[in-house]
Structure 1
Amino acid sequence: MRKRILPALLLVLPLMHVSADAEQVRARDIGIAPGVLATGKLNSITDVAGVRVGQVTLHNGKDVHTGVTAIIPAEGNLRQRKVPAAVYVGNGYGKMAGISQIRELGEIETPVLLTNTLNVAEGIAGVVEWTLAQPGNENVASVNAVVGETNDGFLNDIRRRTVTKADVIQAINKAQSGPVAEGNNGAGSGTRAFGWKGGIGTSSRLLPASLGGYTVGVLVQSNFGGILNIDGLKAGEALNQHYLYNELNNDTAADGSIMIVVATDAPLDDRNLERLAKRAMAGVARTGASLTNGSGDYVIAFSTADALRRDEQSPAHSSTVMANSQVSPLFEAVIEATQEAIYNSLLMAEDVEGFHGSVKALPVDKIRSMLSAEHGKTESSDTLRVATFNVSMESTNYPSSGLPPGDDVLKEILSDGNNPQVKNIAEIIQRTAPDIILLNEFDYIKSQGDGVRAFIQNYLNVSQHGQPAIDYPYVYLAPVNTGEPSPFDLDNDGKATGTGGDAWGFGLYPGQYGMVVLSKYPFVHDQVHSLQTFKWKDMPGAQKPVDPATDTPWYNQEEWAEFRLSSKSHWDIPVNVNGRIVHVLAMHPTPPNFDGDEDRNGKRNHDEIRLMADYLSPDKGEYITDDEGKQSGLPENTRFVLAGDFNAADAGDKHRPGVIEQLIDNRYVNGNVIPESEGGREYSTEPYSRRFTAHWGARADYVLPSRYGFEVTGSGVFWPEKASPLYRLVKDREASSDHRLVWLDVKLTGK
């Protein structure tokens, strides 16, 4: 995306009047997931193979907020191999170019361009010049340029006609597959929607294989009004900003326009593409649009199916298209994707101080709070299932990928929904159906679309072995210490490598053995505490490792001053369960082995567990500060659930006395809860093997509730017996994991 400097004003950055202070999120980042269908990998129009998007964004001072968004429908020469297409007009108060020929011939022969109302002519000029310049078009004497527009004249000095032919050509040349910049970008730079800052938004839907496996992608340029409704949440009314507010004092407040571009790889002819385009307006309606007299609402739909492309030189075209009876699932897909694309255009926008005034971005914090309150109001259950599962989804577990250890391995595994181990993990989760689940050893991937969201969409949202699909709209993901380089030789082998034993937590790359929390209930984000960077030295009475050969500290003074106690991280994540708060206390302490006589990992494991025990004990956690430097800990009468792979057995030869007892004997913890399984019972002759949670023979994974605020109604370990048909899910680490999912059922009591 290019931000062009205008010749008259060379100091663009100091004069920019776009504020990034407001939080920018995509809808699914805060639990807004319209509909029932899964999204594509990127949740973008570019999930449709061959579709590319390019943008040029123009911001300069208060006067200029406009730009160009170009959508290339398919690979190759569009003028010579056209794609079937259709246009539907919801309300014709607009200046779209190219519409009559699309309606007459049912095809598109150029990129689709979006810009502002008074730059349509430049859009046409740029599209025509680019098309004529393409190899194979030397004899072309007619080009039907497709240019859509909305009027950004409130924030942008539209009469200045800033967009040039060169901007249009550059946007087309920059077009690429991959993520699309949303909000104040391209043609969305100066648009408004529902009284807030609008812009570019995109989303996609993927049909299940049983319905053809087709993808529908949508891109919108939102610049319209109405009474904003966010997936059932009456946001416009709650925020006192909507059409006809204040005694109907402004009947043009909902005027504007929306341009919608719909792409699909389904083999639809132009007639059914028009039917598909028509349904996109239902997605607009779901957001609360008023569709007023002065609103120009246009939908352009095309199919990228290669067999349907129309060769300019061919005297006849013959192809197989979808029957009318098969297209209804695509209708649902376009409705859902349009709705979500509009939400993304709003949620990814930023405040703008413009030509005629200022426009604020939709306040994400308020939307998040309203969603939390609405969830509590509409859900009535007072029961909760919480689970933990060490899923072994870290890169060294996938040697067949052929990739070096790193987060690219898991990205590839999650991209297509076909990995047998991950499908089994998803089936286990679907069968146990937790409301909240902590996943340990799930490699940290910062881009949720490539990581945890891909896992949800490609595996959990898809039925595994006939089980009902499951969804988790709320995700808590944060960095961990494993593989995070330190500058020290922490394992004392004479080399400071920054990796392995010299990382803050053992790992070959940053984020290995990460963790993530999935929830059906919203998080209270402003009350989350992370202890990732808490220093071991700051724990009173810390078990500082000593080298017995020299009787000196294992870590020198400089190392000890910086050493992070948490091998991964310690999290306190408050969850709003129908208006009552449950603190999920998540951790994954280091294994108490893989060291020497100094017992540095054993001592660290002890103190990692102690850190959480002190955190939940009001009289012991005064010394604890979180990653933001805030004093942290739980007060009396707090409802919490401890969850994670604690690497601390409670019985047998792997039991280290005094370690796990810091939790199970804690007066604030209900340590009497011991989940069991028949599979564990038959795995070993030990009398306590029913409680085993790992194939190496120990109870390592825990879900422990607070004594306050809960009535325990059930618990278990997912470990089927060998005779069970479900044993296939746990028969070895390759089947799923070397750990078992552990779950706890509770009934919430008290306030």
Structure 2
Amino acid sequence: MLWAGFAAAEPVRIATFAAPLSRDGPGLLLRDIQKGEDDAIIAIAKIIDLIAPDVLVLTDFDYDLDGYALDAFAGGLAQDYPYRFALTPNTGVPTGLDIDGNGRRGDARDAQGYGRFVGDGGMAILSRFAVLEDEVQDFSQLLWRNLDGAQLPSLDGKAFFSPLVQDNLRLSSAGHWVVPLAVPDGGVLSLMVFAATPPVFDGPEDMNGLRNRDELRLWENILETDPPEGFVVLGNANLDPVRGAGKQDAMQDFLRRPDLMDPLGGQPNADWGSDGPGQLRVSYILPSTAWQVVGSGTFWPDEDTPERVFLGDDGTKAGPHRMIWVDLLR
């Protein structure tokens, strides 16, 4: 259901969208944006224009070093986003190692994070508010084994990863960033942005399930030791607290944290149909209790509403994920 609430003061609307803005090779996303003929890109842009967030986190956006694709995409939107931010993700960064243990090197699954090329399906931020770039923290280089409380996979009672893999494999499949923004009330809004690996596509060692859980654990550790000012945890956790694969109890525990709010409750925000896992909640916006929530929503219009056209007849024109947003006041 499409819904939002407002208060008398001007809220800050933040949103996240795992829109399918990734292509099969480097430069192809920029090509498709510039052509202006891709139905999915057009639909995604129309949804963004309709919801009009002040801050938008995209969690499946191909990265390029000069930001050409992000600039081109932002330039085609109705709202001006003068601040655009992205770091090199771990997706597609080669390791030269056999990470998944299939006897081959150089596959997409042998990169630091699954990816067919460097930057495949990275993360990006569009903002109306200035990014305090000197204060950005990037935890994406942290080795998985060095995470406090890490649980690395094992098989038949033995470590699944060789010592060499353990010495090189990072925790973040895409990235973990803390990105502070200067918001109009004079304070700071700190985006804790991530996109975790799906807890599937592995074997009995549960490599991806354990990594997915530990990608959430990194935020737990930071919130316990050094929470950023005015933080909001958001992105694609790829983990539903009650349905689908993965360590559901980990997400349940995270949502119960007393320093977080969960404005969107148990609403699903992705739909893989009856042939797949169905409707799941995988994307999240979880503000700290320092904020006041005055509105929230999921772009999932009913079939008889005009906005439904953006999703297409089968609901997948803009991909299986739905945009979610939250309106905040200090």
TM-score (norm 2): 0.91
Q: 1:444 aligns with which of 19, 41, 63?
A: 63
Q: Which residue is 1:715 aligned to?
A: 296
Aligned twin of 1:649? 240
Offset of 1:728 from its aligned partner? 2.0
1:591 aligns to 2:198 (yes or no) = yes
Per-residue CA deviations over 1:297-345 (Å, capped at 9, x if unaligned) read xxxxxxxxxxxxxxxxxxxxxxxxxxxxxxxxxxxxxxxxxxxxxxxxx
Mapped to 2, the partners of 1:522 and 1:552 lie a distance apart of 48
Report how far residue 634 of structure 1 moved: 2.3
* Aligned residue among 512, 515, 530 for 2:123: 515
What is the distance in 2 between the residues matched to 1:452 and 1:592? 28
Q: Displacement, 1:423? A: 1.3
The Cα offsets for residues 470-519 of structure 1, whole Å up to 9 and x where unpaired, read as 1100011110011110021001111112x311111111111111110110
- Please report how far the alpha carbon of residue 662 of structure 1 lies from its aligned counterpart in structure 2 after TM superposition: 4.3
Give the counterpart of 1:699 among 281, 284, 298: 281
Match for residue 569 of structure 1? 175
Matched position secondary structure for 1:451: helix
Q: Given residue 264 of structure 2, which amino acid in structure 1 is its aligned partner?
A: I
Query: Partners of 1:417 and 1:471 in 2: how far apart?
Result: 18
**CA drift at 1:592:** 0.4
C-alpha offsets along residues 625-673 of structure 1, whole Å, 9 cap, x if unaligned?
A: xxxxxxxx425xx3111111110102234463322134312222113x2
Q: 1:674 aligns with which of 230, 247, 264?
A: 264
Q: Deviations along 1:548-600, whole A, 9 cap, x unmatched?
A: 3xx21111111101110000000100000022101001000000000011000
> What is the aligned partner in structure 2 of residue 473 from structure 1?
82
Counterpart for residue 14 of structure 2? 386
CA deviation map 1:202-242 (0-9, x unaligned): xxxxxxxxxxxxxxxxxxxxxxxxxxxxxxxxxxxxxxxxx
Q: Distance in 2 between matches of 1:562 and 1:658?
A: 29
SS in 2 for 1:562: coil
1:540 — aligned with what? 148
Aligned 1:485-496 pairs, distance under 5 A: 485-496=94-105
Q: Which residue of 2 aligns with 1:463?
A: none
**Greater fraction of residues in helix:** 1
For 2:137 and 2:70, the matched residues in 1 are separated by 21
CA contact (8 A) 2:199 2:246 kept: no
Instruction: Give the paired residue count.
Output: 315
1:454 aligns with 72
Give matches, 1:150-169, under 5 Å: none
Cα offset, 1:382, TM superposition = 4.9
The 5 A counterparts of 1:259-278 are none
RMSD: 1.7
Kept in 1, the 8 Å contact 2:14–2:54? The answer is: yes
Q: Does 1:580 align with 2:171?
A: no
* Equivalent residues in 2 for 1:602-751, closer than 5 Å: 602-618=209-225, 633-634=226-227, 638-654=229-245, 656-671=247-262, 673-674=263-264, 691-696=267-272, 697-708=279-290, 710-731=291-312, 732=314, 735-748=317-330
Deviations 1:253-292 (A, max 9, x none): xxxxxxxxxxxxxxxxxxxxxxxxxxxxxxxxxxxxxxxx
**Matched letter for residue 728 of structure 1:** V
Cα deviation, residue 740, structure 1: 0.2
Aligned counterparts of 1:417 and 1:531: Cα–Cα separation in 2: 35
Whole-Å Cα distance in 2 between the matches of residues 389 and 489 of structure 1? 32
- Name the CA distance, whole Å, in 1 between partners of 2:14 and 2:252: 21
Distance 2:151 2:310 in 1: 40
Contact 1:609–1:662 at 8 Å: present in 2 too? no
Fraction of identical pairs, as percent: 32
Say whether 1:484 aligns with 2:93: yes
**How big is the shift at 1:416?**
3.3
| 1:414 counterpart = 2:4 | no
Whole-angstrom distance in 1 between the partners of 2:256 and 2:162: 34
Please tell me whether the aligned partners of residues 654 and 698 of structure 1 are also in contact (alpha carbons under 8 angstroms): no
Aligned position for 2:276 = none
Q: Superposed, which structure 2 residues align to 1:176-215 within 5 Å?
A: none
Distance 1:617 1:610 in 2: 10
**TM-score, normalised via structure 1 length:** 0.41
The equivalent position to 1:504 in structure 2, one of 95, 109, 112, is 112
Bigger relative contact order, structure 1 or 2, given CA contacts below 8 A and separation 6+? 2
Question: Looking at CA atoms only, which structure, 1 or 2, has the larger radius of gyration?
Answer: 1
The answer to whether the 8 A contact 1:720-1:727 is kept is yes
Distance between the aligned counterparts of 1:734 and 1:698, measured in 2? 15
How many angstroms apart in 1 are the aligned matches of 2:25 and 2:50? 30
Separation in 1 of the partners of 2:152 and 2:39?
43
For the structure 1 residues 511 and 733, does the alpha-carbon distance in structure 2 shift closer, same or farther, using more than 3 Å as the test? farther
Deviation sequence 1:20-75 (CA, Å, 0-9, x none): xxxxxxxxxxxxxxxxxxxxxxxxxxxxxxxxxxxxxxxxxxxxxxxxxxxxxxxx
Which of 145, 160, 167 in structure 2 is aligned with 1:554? 160
Corresponding position of 1:21? none
Question: Deviations for 1:608-633, whole angstroms, at most 9, x for unmatched residues?
Answer: 01101211222xxxxxxxxxxxxxx4
What's the secondary structure of 1:526's corresponding residue? helix
CA contact (8 A) 1:613 1:666 kept: no
* Change over 3 Å in CA distance of 1:604–1:430 after alignment to 2: same
Q: Which amino acid aligns with 1:743?
A: W
Stretches of structure 1 lacking an aligned partner (at least 5 in a row): 1-380, 396-404, 461-468, 619-632, 676-687
* CA separation of 1:505 and 1:653: change in aligned 2, threshold 3 A: closer
Partner of 1:129: none
Which position in structure 2 is the counterpart of 1:74?
none
Q: Which amino acid is 2:283 matched to?
A: D
Structure 2: gaps of 5 or more residues: 1-8, 273-278
CA contact 2:199–2:245 (8 Å) conserved in 1: no
Q: 2:46 aligns with which of 418, 423, 427?
A: 427
Moved over 4 A (4+): none
Deviations 1:690-735 (A, max 9, x none): x110012100110110012x11111110011112222121244751
